[in-house]
């Protein structure tokens, strides 16, 4: 890799809009061991048949509540967890489509640098005994990309790219704040000039003022380096800001996928509606009496019959407890792109989108005082 | 500004300072915090990590973690009612001590009480209760949920175990637990995060406190569970009429739940106002910046978010004068970095006040008594 690759990332890349990553029927089941012989007595179906496509240059957000399998999906795509079933196809610029889930060691070595991950907790994801310079240089050293002065130059360049100073390379992670640590994690992730970055709740652990800085950095890097993001998050406000498309997960399955704007305005799955209505809006004049979802998220070890959401769904009918609805395309009159939902009544239901807070609230023009 | 006696206050904190002496230096966690909590209102305290929100709450409860200690200031707690004498041994012991310490207006200065004294123990739990962010760390894993609620009731209200148990089950029912009899016999690990938080709320409310301090009670929960807990708190607040001090870093939660808002930064109150004033007419540059930094639904997606430059300073470093000046977009050299801003109260029916040099004190101080204390 040379410097010019970084500065002119758009040259020689495939046009945006083509699929970069295709996930077909991805499953990750964890065995539950029990009894005297530690036999498998059940399975936690963390990810239970996920289909996703991430197009080159876009940001696909994966949202859902804890335990819905969004992080496991990310880790299975990276093959940090070996998927139980399904296909993960990565469209490499040189190798063409590669099946990541079954690739041999040699192919993985070529593919891995192209897919990177950023973790949620910036305090756990950096080795406290390594200087920041070594943390960032590690992927370059392991993949034998650079060494000596060229390596040091690249590390300095990466530090500047994420808004830190080159002299920070000699310090240890403990000397940095949460936001700065997340920048270091981002520098490490972009060191090998990847195509895809899976960002697993990258801003959830940060304070509001720092969160905005990191979000802006991620967006800026996406433009400069032509990155594709899979952005895993539970924060629907951040997701609306950063993503082009959103996939909503519930108990190991994708229940709805659509354009961000479209999905927020007109959700097609009752679970998406519930998520959007539960979002506390930062507008005191717009207090909504939330009708909270009843009950709890079912256990992925023992999911309900039929549609997994029927136990909590306010619109559930008889068929919902019997037949599991597949994820299917919903005809879209607005022409805002493909919209898919896994609901028997996706066409009939008139679901409410997210409320939009009034424009003058909160530090808007009128609020300046 | 309205005279303070006009309003029925439950807690008034004046000039509170808390220090944590450590081997690396003294951390000034609170640096002259003053605010009031009106009775029957939900007051939100917002701020980022290190702003002193939790330390403020813990000071009121007298449960500061070591080596933290209150070094200055007072916390006046206006007691609602004398607890029934003879309800328990603890209440009997505390009764005499408390009546001795209560001034003519019926207020007790909490800072004067020993954290381990029976007077403080009588107030804590019975009159001021607290719920925490992570319910698993505040529930004892080896006792059933019912047992733990029963314990609080036995300590403060009744010596009768059967009555206490029934009351515990009833509390669980009130916080919307399905099948409260079964839940009362469950251990904390058998419950989900949302259920544990409900159990915590049931425990906190079991002695009918006049003030409930909620320290980020929904931060660890998912949005749908958060919505359930918030609507529960709103319902309980209007049913029981207690005051709530709600600590959070989520502006959305504040907007949805609170009546008044205290904005804190680095151990100081920088702005105080009604929720409407804070969201529609914020005065302090920090409040304005905080509100602009949150992504909001329906905003222009490809516009970068406004950021506050820099990050929260190291706790061992004391920022002179206005604590926000190194990050402030309105920074005025020579003023903001040298003079500590006084509190300016805006004219009007509410007590909207701010500590910022952009809003110099009016010519005639509205309340000379107050500003004397503040400077």
Question: Judging by beta carbons within 10 Å of its beta carbon (0-12, 13-18, 19+), is residue B173 exposed, middle or buried?
Answer: middle
Residue B192: closest C-alpha in chain A: A296
CB within 8 Å of B109: residues ≥ 6 apart: B74, B75, B76, B77, B101, B103
- Nearest CB to B280 within list A215, A274, A361: A361
Single pTM value for the model: 0.85
Domain that holds residue A127: 3-243
* pLDDT range class, residue B374, cuts 50, 70, 90: very low
Which residue intervals of chain A are DSSP H helices?
3-7, 70-77, 105-111, 132-142, 148-161, 178-190, 208-225, 236-242, 260-265, 270-278
Region B225-244 average pLDDT: 88
**Lowest mean pLDDT across A53-62, A103-112, B164-173, B234-243:** B234-243
Residues of B in contact with A277 (CB under 8 A): 227
pLDDT of residue A357: 65
Domain map (residue ranges) of chain B = 139-208
Q: Are residues B283 and A287, on separate chains, in Cβ contact within 8 Å?
A: no
Q: For position A24, which CATH number holds?
A: 3.40.50.300
Six-digit token string for B6: 């006009």
Chosen from B278, B295, B313, B356 to mutate, greatest number of chain A CBs within 10 A: B295
Determine, yes or no, domain membership for A76. Answer: yes
Residues A213-228: tens digit of each pLDDT: 999 999 999 999 999 9
Q: Measured at the alpha carbon of residue A160, what is the angle toward residues A150 and A124, in degrees to the nearest 5? A: 95
Give ipTM to 2 decimals. 0.81
Q: Binning pLDDT at 50, 70 and 90, where does residue B373 land?
A: very low
Packed helices A132-142 and A148-161: angle between N→C axes, nearest 10 degrees: 120
Pairwise CB contact (< 8 Å): A278 & B289: no
Instruction: Give the integer Cα–Cα distance in Å for A76 and B123.
Output: 52
Q: How far is A33 from chain B (nearest CA, A)?
A: 19
B249 contacts in chain A (CB < 8 Å): 207-208
A207 vs chain B: nearest CA distance in angstroms?
6
Which positions in chain B touch A292 (Cβ < 8 Å)?
Answer: 224, 227-228, 231
- Which residues in chain B are contacts of A293 at CB distance < 8 A? 224, 227-228
> Which stretch, A135-139, B101-105, B132-136, B235-239, has highest mean pLDDT?
A135-139
Give the closest-approach CA distance of B17 to chain A in angstroms: 24
pLDDT tens readout for residues B34-66: 999 999 999 999 988 889 999 999 999 999 988
pLDDT of A35 reads 78
User: Could you tell me if residue A54 is inside a domain?
Assistant: yes
Q: Supply the Cα-derived Rg of chain B in whole angstroms.
A: 21
What is the pLDDT averaged over residues A354-368?
54
Cβ distance A240 to B301 less than 8 Å, yes or no, reads yes
Name the average pLDDT for chain A. 87
Give the nearest partner residue to B252 out of A264, A279, A289, using CB atoms.
Answer: A279
Domain count, chain A: 1
Residue B81: the pLDDT is 61
Give the HSE-up count for residue A345: Cα atoms under 13 Å, Cβ half-sphere.
17
Chain B residues lying within 8 Å of A261, measured CB to CB = 301
pLDDT tens-place string over residues A289-344: 777 787 778 888 888 999 999 999 999 999 999 999 999 999 876 666 789 999 99
Nearest chain B residue (CA) to A285: B276
Answer whether residue A342 is part of any domain.
no
For A65, nearest residue in chain B (alpha carbons):
B222
Min distance B307 CA to chain A CA atoms (Å) = 6
pLDDT the model gives residue A356: 73
Q: Which residue of B has its CA nearest to A164?
A: B310
Considering only alpha carbons, which residue of chain B is nearest residue A274?
B224
**pLDDT tens by residue, B273-286:** 999 999 999 999 99
| A51: phi then psi, degrees, rounded to nearest 5 | -115, 125
Taking the C-alpha atoms of residue A106 and residue B361, their distance in angstroms, rounded to an integer, is 71
CA dihedral A211→A213→A214→A216, nearest 10 degrees, is 120
Q: Is the pLDDT of residue A363 over 50?
A: no
Is there a contact between A367 and B291 if contact means CB atoms under 8 Å apart? yes
B313: nearest CA in chain A? Answer: A177
Task: Tell whether the torsion through CA atoms of B280, B284, B290 and B293 is positive or negative.
Answer: positive
| Chain A residues in contact with B252 (beta carbon < 8 A) | 237, 279-282
| Residue-wise pLDDT tens digits, A183-224 | 999 999 999 999 999 999 999 888 888 899 999 999 999 999
Q: Do B281 and A180 count as a contact with CB atoms less than 8 A apart? A: no
Percent of chain B exceeding pLDDT 70 equals 91
Share of chain A above pLDDT 90, in %: 65
- Chain A hits for B301, CB-CB cut-off 8 Å, are 240-241, 260-261
Residue environment code for B322-332, b if the CB has 16+ CB neighbours within 10 A, otherwise e: bbbbebbeeee
Q: Which residue of A has its CA nearest to B194?
A: A296
Of A177, A209, A357, Cβ closest to residue B296:
A357
Residue A206 resides in a domain:
yes
* Cross-chain Cβ contact B311/A264 below 8 Å: no
How confident is the model at residue A6, as a pLDDT?
Answer: 41
Buried b (16+ CB within 10 A) or exposed e, A107-121: beeebbbbbbbbbbe
Q: Count CB pairs under 8 A between chains A and B.
A: 175
Note whether A357 contacts B297, CB cutoff 8 Å. Answer: yes
- Does A12 reside within a domain? yes
Inter-chain contact B280–A210, Cβ cutoff 8 Å?
Answer: no
Please give the residue of chain B at the shortest CA–CA distance from A66.
B222
């Amino acid at each position: 890799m040379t410097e010019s690759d970084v500065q002119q990332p758009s040259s020689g890349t495939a046009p945006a809009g083509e699929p970069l990553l295709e996930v077909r029927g991805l499953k990750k089941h964890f065995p539950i061991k029990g009894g005297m012989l530690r036999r498998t007595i059940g399975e936690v179906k963390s990810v239970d048949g996920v289909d996703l496509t991430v197009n080159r240059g876009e940001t696909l957000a994966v949202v859902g509540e804890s335990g819905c399998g969004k992080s496991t999906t990310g880790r299975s795509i990276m093959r940090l967890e070996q998927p139980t079933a399904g296909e993960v196809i990565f469209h490499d610029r040189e190798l063409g489509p590669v099946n990541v889930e079954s690739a041999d060691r040699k192919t993985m070595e070529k593919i891995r640098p192209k897919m990177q991950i950023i973790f949620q907790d910036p305090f756990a994801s950096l080795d406290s005994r390594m200087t920041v310079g070594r943390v960032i240089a590690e992927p370059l050293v392991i993949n034998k990309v650079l060494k000596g002065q060229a390596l040091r130059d690249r590390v300095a360049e990466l530090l500047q790219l994420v808004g830190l100073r080159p002299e920070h390379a000699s310090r240890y992670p403990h000397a940095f704040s949460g936001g700065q640590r997340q920048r270091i994690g981002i520098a490490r992730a972009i060191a090998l000039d990847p195509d895809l970055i899976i960002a697993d709740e990258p801003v959830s652990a940060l304070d509001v003022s720092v969160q905005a800085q990191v979000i802006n950095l991620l967006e800026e890097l996406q433009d400069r380096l032509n990155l594709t993001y899979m952005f895993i998050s539970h924060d629907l406000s951040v997701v609306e800001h950063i993503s082009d498309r959103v996939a909503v997960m519930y108990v190991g399955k994708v229940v709805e996928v659509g354009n961000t704007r479209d999905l927020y305005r007109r959700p097609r799955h009752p679970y998406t509606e519930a998520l959007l209505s539960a979002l506390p809006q930062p507008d005191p004049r717009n207090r909504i009496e939330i009708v909270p979802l009843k009950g709890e998220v079912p256990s992925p070890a023992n999911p309900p019959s039929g549609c997994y959401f029927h136990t909590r769904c306010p619109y559930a009918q008889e068929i919902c407890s019997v037949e599991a609805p597949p994820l299917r395309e919903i005809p879209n009159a607005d022409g805002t792109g493909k919209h898919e939902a896994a609901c028997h009544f996706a066409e009939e239901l008139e679901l409410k989108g997210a409320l939009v807070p009034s424009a003058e609230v909160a530090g808007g023009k009128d609020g300046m005082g | 500004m309205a005279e303070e006696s006009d309003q029925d206050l439950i807690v008034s904190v004046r000039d509170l300072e808390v220090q944590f002496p450590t081997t690396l230096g003294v951390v000034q966690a609170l640096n002259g915090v003053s605010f009031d909590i009106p009775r029957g209102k939900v007051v939100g305290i917002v701020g980022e990590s290190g702003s002193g929100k939790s330390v403020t709450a813990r000071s009121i409860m007298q449960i500061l973690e070591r080596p933290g200690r209150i070094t200055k200031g007072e916390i006046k707690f206006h007691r609602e009612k004398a607890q029934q004498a003879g309800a328990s041994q603890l209440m009997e012991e505390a009764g005499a001590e408390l009546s001795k310490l209560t001034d003519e207006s019926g207020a007790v200065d909490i800072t004067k009480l020993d954290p381990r004294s029976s007077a403080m123990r009588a107030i804590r739990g019975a009159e001021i209760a607290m719920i925490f962010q992570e319910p698993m760390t505040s529930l004892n894993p080896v006792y059933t949920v019912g047992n733990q609620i029963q314990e609080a009731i036995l300590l403060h209200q009744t010596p009768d175990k059967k009555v206490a148990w029934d009351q515990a089950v009833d509390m669980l029912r009130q916080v919307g637990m399905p099948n409260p009899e079964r839940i009362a016999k469950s251990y904390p690990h058998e419950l989900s995060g949302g259920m544990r938080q409900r159990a915590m709320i049931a425990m906190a409310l079991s002695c009918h406190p006049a003030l409930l301090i909620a320290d980020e009670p929904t931060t660890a929960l998912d949005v749908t569970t958060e919505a359930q807990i918030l609507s529960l708190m709103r319902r309980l607040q209007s049913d029981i009429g207690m005051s709530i001090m709600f600590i959070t870093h989520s502006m959305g939660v504040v907007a949805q739940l609170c009546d008044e808002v205290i904005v804190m930064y680095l151990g100081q109150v920088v702005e105080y106002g009604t929720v409407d004033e804070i969201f529609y007419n914020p005065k302090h540059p920090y409040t304005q910046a905080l509100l602009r930094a949150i992504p909001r639904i329906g905003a222009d997606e490809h516009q970068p978010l406004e950021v506050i430059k820099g990050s929260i300073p190291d706790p061992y470093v004391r920022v002179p004068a206005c604590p926000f000046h190194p990050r402030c977009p309105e920074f005025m050299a020579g003023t903001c970095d040298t003079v500590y801003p006084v509190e300016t109260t805006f004219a009007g029916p509410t007590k909207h006040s701010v500590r910022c040099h952009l809003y110099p004190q009016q010519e005639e101080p509205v309340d000379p008594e107050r500003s004397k204390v503040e400077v």
